[in-house]
Amino acid sequence: MARLFGTDGVRGEANLDLKPELAFQLGRAATLYFCEGNFDGEPPCILIGRDSRLSGPMFEAALAAGICSAGGQAIIAGIIPTPGVAYLTKKMGFQAGIVVSASHNPFYDNGIKFFGGDGYKLPDEVEDEIEVLTQGSGPGDDFYRPLQTRIGGVFYRPELLDDYVEFVLSTADYRLDGLKIVLDCANGAAYQAMPKILSRLGANLTVLNAHPSGININDNCGSTHLAALQKAVVTQGADLGIAHDGDADRCLCVDETGKVMDGDHLLMICGRALMAEGRLARNTIVTTVMANIGFHQALKKAGARVEVTGVGDRYVLENMRENNYSLGGEQSGHIIFGDISTTGDGLITALQVLGALKKSGKKASELNGLMVSYPQLLVNVNVGSKEGWEEKEAIRAAIREAERELGENGRVLVRPSGTEPLIRVMAEGPDQAQLDRLCHAIADVVKEACPL
């Protein structure tokens, strides 16, 4: 039986793969877990936040019902960035936080992910325990069911978003007066908080995609669709463009020439800035196997070192916590400032980039140019099943042949998506045409070996 929790919570198409009945069971199971069997003590308080997609209120209500049925208190924050739930869960002393979001996925997908009382995502073993409780918390279960005054309550706390906004503002020790910024909110969870933050810092601000309808989240906008932002930055003569994804735990930027600043470039810029201030722990940045070769070269030149993990911000964070590193992240824009936040925070990342820009006195393109990216091509292959793909000899042979052709001048990385039925084929090297040929050759083999 497949594990309920994936690399970033429970995800699926709303009302098809992910049903409100499961959300109810997850809310109930989490409450049973976090009350630690002490049903006579204070009821656990669990914070729920969500992004702007259509199915969000449905899952929010189902989770709250599950929490109340186990005697917990459901605290509803409404639409709020994922890192806001992590911050507030810890600050307010809640037993757990739950986010209803499918991040950068289209509106018809949704997901449910948990944070512990310390503000960190739950480790696998805790998720597994909640999963066990979920399997036994359906209709007719024998678990604790409070009666009368011990039934839980629902409390709406939309003002908690302002607490998070104040926290993010407290991380900026500069003003943005005179700086022209274009902001793309992806019609998602940042649409209220980030415009308020940048305006209060004095930026000359143009805001794109801050009118969520429930179905327009991530729709040709945000950090996964940067073309409109690039055009707006150049057309308006802006100093910087900032883009978030649907739940605002990611940030990518665009320099004043319209060139993209991906997570590798942002990590490099912020890492150099922290080094200059003596705040980059052991002059080390943690990243994943997806980081560009140019990233490694730029950091080596700057006197910093890099530690590499598997793909996924949770693995970056695990390494950071184990070794007390202060900065890590992914090319996709998940960046973690360990001295500030317990998870990737797109809003804080944007402010850290802006701080580096202000303090350097340089243009964004100059900072962006400190790292030269090798051409990198990623092809996503829809498959019927990801199970056992790495054991198929045809795929392994295609990868070996591509690696032989690239030699020391490049690399190939083939991996399954953690959240979608995809096999991702990535190649990196100096020749774009060669990468295109090699990536699609491998992709064709994957399609044949793992048919829909």
Note the pLDDT tens digit of each residue in 388-429: 999 999 999 999 999 999 987 788 999 998 778 899 999 998
Q: Which residues contact 24 (CB under 8 A, 6 or more apart)?
A: 62, 63, 65, 66, 69
Which residue type sits at 145? R
pLDDT of residue 42: 86
pLDDT of residue 39: 67
Instruction: Say whether 103 is catalytic.
Output: yes
With tokens 């409100």, the residue in question is: 20
> Is the pLDDT score of 300 beyond 60?
yes
> Is the pLDDT score of 141 beyond 90?
no
pTM of the model as a whole: 0.89
**Domain span(s) for CATH 3.30.310.50 in the chain:** 376-449
With tokens 């990216």, the residue in question is: 373
Q: What percent of the chain has pLDDT over 70?
A: 98
Indicate which residue of 52, 103, 332, 341 is catalytic: 103
CATH of domain 10-160: 3.40.120.10
Which residue would you say has higher pLDDT here, 314 or 187? 187
With tokens 């409780």, the residue in question is: 133
Which residue type sits at 91? K
> Is the pLDDT score of 57 beyond 60?
yes
Q: What is the 3-state secondary structure (H, E, C) of the chain?
A: CCCCCECCEEEEEECCCECHHHHHHHHHHHHHHHCCCCCCCCCCEEEEEECCCCCHHHHHHHHHHHHHHCCCEEEEEEECCHHHHHHHHHHCCCCEEEEECCCCCCCCEEEEEEEECCCCECCHHHHHHHHHHHHCCCCCCCCCCCCHHHCCCEEECCCHHHHHHHHHHHCCCCCCCCCEEEEECCCCCCCCHHHHHHHHCCCEEEEECCCCCCCCCCCCCHHHCCHHHHHHHHHHCCCEEEEECCCCCEEEEEECCCCEECHHHHHHHHHHHHHHCCCCHHHEEEEECCCCHHHHHHHHHHCCEEEEECCCHHHHHHHHHHHCCCEEECCCCEEEECCCCCCCCHHHHHHHHHHHHHHHCCCHHHHHCCCCCCCEEEEEEECCCCCCHHHCHHHHHHHHHHHHHHHHHCEEEEEECCCCCEEEEEEECCCHHHHHHHHHHHHHHHHHHCCC
CATH of domain 171-368: 3.40.120.10
Q: What percent of the chain has pLDDT over 90?
A: 86
Most confident residue range from 37-41, 211-215, 406-410, 434-438: 211-215
Confidence of residue 140 (pLDDT cuts 50, 70, 90): low
Strands 180-184 and 240-244: parallel
Question: Average pLDDT of 161-168?
Answer: 98
> Is the pLDDT score of 142 beyond 70?
no
Instruction: Report how far residue 445's alpha carbon sits from residue 200's, in angstroms, rounded to the nearest whole number.
Output: 53
- Give the pair of three-digit tokens for residue 189: 């969870």
**Domain span(s) for CATH 3.40.120.10 in the chain:** 10-160, 171-368
With tokens 């908690």, the residue in question is: 160
Confidence of residue 299 (pLDDT cuts 50, 70, 90): very high
Which listed CATH number (3.90.1150.10, 3.30.565.10, 2.40.30.10, 3.30.310.50) goes with 376-449?
3.30.310.50
Confidence of residue 40 (pLDDT cuts 50, 70, 90): confident
With tokens 């699926």, the residue in question is: 12
Instruction: Report how far residue 325's alpha carbon sits from residue 338's, in angstroms, rounded to the nearest whole number.
Output: 7
* 85-108 pLDDT, tens digit each: 999 999 999 999 999 999 999 999
pLDDT of residue 417: 86
Residue 255 forms beta bridges with which residues?
Answer: 240
CA torsion sign for 114, 198, 267, 365 is positive
> Is the pLDDT score of 138 beyond 80?
no
pLDDT of residue 365: 98
Instruction: Report how far residue 154's alpha carbon sits from residue 116's, in angstroms, rounded to the nearest whole number.
Output: 19
Give Dmax (Cα) for the chain: 71
Sheet holding 422-428, edge to edge: 376-382, 422-428, 411-416
Confidence of residue 316 (pLDDT cuts 50, 70, 90): very high
With tokens 């995502």, the residue in question is: 121
Sheet holding 327-329, edge to edge: 305-309, 284-288, 327-329, 335-337
89 touches 96 (CB < 8 A):
yes
Whole-number average pLDDT of the chain: 94
* 237-275 pLDDT, tens digit each: 999 999 999 999 999 999 999 999 999 999 999 999 999
pLDDT of residue 408: 77
Instruction: Report how far residue 335's alpha carbon sits from residue 242's, in angstroms, rounded to the nearest whole number.
Output: 14
Q: How distant is the alpha carbon of residue 416 from its chain centre?
A: 17
> Is the pLDDT score of 318 beyond 80?
yes
Confidence of residue 277 (pLDDT cuts 50, 70, 90): very high
Confidence of residue 197 (pLDDT cuts 50, 70, 90): very high
pLDDT of residue 1: 62
